Amino acid sequence: MEGLISGFLVLADPYLLALLVMATLGGVVIGALPGLNATTGAALLLPFTLTMDPVPAISIMTAIYCSATFAGAITAILINTPGTAASATTCLDGYPLAQRGEAGRALGMAVVSSTIGGVFSVICLMIAAPFLARAAYNFSPPEYFALTLFGLSMLASIGDGSAIKNLIAGSLGIFLALVGVDNLTTVERFTFGSYELYDGIGFVPVMIGVFGISELLIQAANLQIVREQVVMKAITLPSKADYKKSWRTIVRSSGIGTFIGILPAEGATVASMIGYNEAKRWSKNPEEFGHGAIEGIAGSEAANNAATGGAMVPTLALGIPGSATAAVILAGLMVHGVRPGPTMFTEQAEFAYAIFWSMLLVNILFFLVGLRGAKIFARVTLIPVQILWPTVFVFSIVGTYALDQSMFDVWVALTAGVIGFFMRRYGFSVVPLAIGLILGGMLEQRLGQSMVMLDEQWWLMFTRPLTLFFFILTALALFGPALFGTLKRRLSNSTGGTAE
């Protein structure tokens, strides 16, 4: 309770409040621009936060996360192009409503359901924090190693590509994490005599490259695409009939989004799809979905915004990113010297609760911004991409150089951007690469600590209950789908043979 109150008092700082307001407005602009998303925005912002204290730095990154996720609905409804992948299902019913002249009604439902989903997930996060704190004393290096290994097992499912391609991308990220001097043995690895590589490859340049610069190269191939925009008069709050039809969907999707967000390797995109499908499954009029069902917007938007709060649970409590944007935030935590993990709620409770309160405030802020300013922010979609993306490129280079005033970091970002472009072009997701880079270094460090603690008797890890539990989860994550698939086929074959 003391951490809850002290975290709230941190928000009394006018400087922090001003930053949150500006970050919320910036996040709405980022989310409303097709091609940009919360992950790209957080990656571009990361180097500019290095001179800040940890609380303001992480708070504005989470503000970008929350507000950009909501703002994706603006373009999804008005021009049938989701500003973020998490709003893809919002297009299915939002754009048909806009074509019927009900864009204001559709956006009003998106604002309300997004706010309810976001607030619900943050409240759940605050309630769960004390329980996470109780588990803090049961974690030591072997448990952290097994937990990080479990996080890496999620690489197969965290990206948009196939499981094999995701694992290949994740392995590349782990390889990059091994570059530099080993802290335990002082052995140089893959430095090739380059002094700049002695300390390894930094998170920030790679994040900016694979998320920001690669997106620039992707968008360069779409310069001729013309998007038709629907005219909107004003946003209107949902009517009583809309609330009556959608309140169960909003509550259900808020719970689904929070749960999906908590699962490592999932995120707002998966949550929105499941929320939309469940809204259709439980609807009294499923035939309306895809033709302008207000429940479809409620199901999608409540779920994807609830996932933002849920994704911060494994990120802060376990050090495993719950989504692509959470991976960038996790990199920000590490750059600022904040150690994510269960002990955060005992050793840094004020910091953790300050982040929770700032996320709650941001959800309220984008409710106000969405109602009053969505029509204005929708105008940003008219910015020519020939102007937008060169501007993003300039910010990417400036942010990378500002990190350490190093041209080497700029070359790393540019190289990562080119690698990310070709990966995405040939069906590889860049998200596993980013997560592999983050968790790979953590895995090596925790393995070394475990070996020192256990006097190099690695098999003793299996005698520790929590470590063994995470090892079992890792095995299920890696081999469970194939095993269950084989059992299902054999069962169906035996059933078919019996029937004959």
Q: What is the pLDDT of residue 337?
A: 81
| Between 211 and 239, the higher pLDDT residue | 239
The two three-digit tokens of residue 225, written as one number: 């695409």
Q: What is the pLDDT of residue 173?
A: 87
Asked if residue 500 has pLDDT above 50, the reply is no
Averaged pLDDT, 151-155: 74
Asked if residue 226 has pLDDT above 80, the reply is no
Residues 465-497 have pLDDT tens digits of 888 888 888 888 777 767 777 777 777 777 665
Residues 243-253 have pLDDT tens digits of 888 888 999 98
Q: What is the pLDDT of residue 499?
A: 47
Residues of the chain above pLDDT 90, percent: 0
Residues 44-53 have pLDDT tens digits of 788 888 888 8
Residues 296-308 have pLDDT tens digits of 888 888 888 888 8
Quote the mean pLDDT of the chain: 79
Residues 329-367 have pLDDT tens digits of 888 888 888 877 767 777 777 888 888 888 888 888 878
Residues of the chain above pLDDT 70, percent: 83
- Confidence band, pLDDT 50/70/90 cuts, at residue 157: low
- Distance separating alpha carbons of residues 362 and 305, to the nearest angstrom: 12
